[in-house]
């Protein structure tokens, strides 16, 4: 069963890398740290699991099911599995944590 029923974005206060990792790190398991160079594009794709992306530094614009929104440090994107989505990093690039659920 999916943890999320629709993609959504939440904005929050800026976070450090350590804070972001510790907030998403499961009791047992891991998270992924991703860094995108300036203006890096991720073409439309899907994933077989739910995903949470937590922005640490820089910015990234997400596109999913009618959503087009830019996130900065403290922003989170919640993506249900199989949701087509794409993104493009901002002019300064983007550092973020990805948690698969």
pLDDT tens column, 4-62: 889 999 999 999 999 999 999 999 999 999 999 999 999 999 999 999 999 999 999 99
pLDDT at residue 1 above 70?
no
Cα 67 to chain center, whole Å?
A: 14
pLDDT at residue 101 above 90?
no
CA distances from 79 to 38, 42, 91 (A): 23, 15, 24
CATH architecture of the domain with residue range 8-100? Sandwich (2.60)
The mean per-residue pLDDT over the stretch 76-81 comes to 96
Tokens standing for residue 29: 């398991």
Length of the chain: 101
Residue 52 confidence (pLDDT): 97
Domain range annotation of the chain: 8-100
């Amino acid at each position: 069963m999916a943890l999320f029923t629709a993609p959504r974005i939440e904005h929050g206060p800026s976070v450090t890398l350590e804070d972001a990792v510790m907030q998403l790190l499961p009791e047992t398991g891991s998270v992924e740290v991703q860094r995108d160079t300036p203006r890096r594009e991720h073409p439309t794709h899907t994933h077989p699991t739910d995903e949470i992306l937590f922005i640490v530094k820089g910015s990234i614009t997400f596109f999913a099911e009618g959503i087009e929104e830019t996130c900065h440090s403290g922003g989170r994107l919640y993506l249900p599995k199989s949701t087509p989505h794409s993104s493009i990093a901002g002019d300064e690039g983007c550092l973020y944590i990805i948690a698969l659920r």
